[in-house]
Amino acid sequence: MLLIVCCVSAIAIWLLWRRSIEPELGIKVAALISLTLWTPFLYAIYLVPGSSLWVGDPATPAPYPQVNGITLYPQVVLAVVFLMLTAGGYGLTRLGDARNLIGTRSREHY
């Protein structure tokens, strides 16, 4: 599984850094790749009956931190962090596109 995640992540990085006449396509596909890799940590337990977010041997449970009675599983926290980074990065690219578009329009008038 780790090999799949590493290879798909490498493809997403290549999509972001490659020279292309359609850079926005690479950005969208890289964001979709990130979403498909990280969102299952948030809903997989609801799709598979009997599954759990617990990682490791249930006979020797590790004490996960709790906040207001909610257990914070490390993989879920990591997934949320990466999803926020993906959304933020995608938002910055959209903001950059809007600025480039405004700059192009203002230069056309001169």
CA–CA separation, 25 and 48 (whole Å): 33
From the list 26, 14, 25, 36, the residue with the least C-alpha distance to 82 is 36
- Structural domain count, the chain: 1
Question: Which run of H or E residues covers position 27?
Answer: helix 23-38
CA–CA separation, 8 and 30 (whole Å): 9
* Segment 23-79, tens digit of pLDDT: 888 888 989 998 998 899 899 889 998 888 887 777 777 788 888 988 888 888 888
* Segment 4-18, tens digit of pLDDT: 887 888 888 888 888
109 has pLDDT over 60:
no
110 has pLDDT over 60:
no
| pLDDT score for 97 | 65
Its domain, for residue 44, covers 2-108
Work out the pLDDT band at 19, boundaries 50, 70, 90: confident
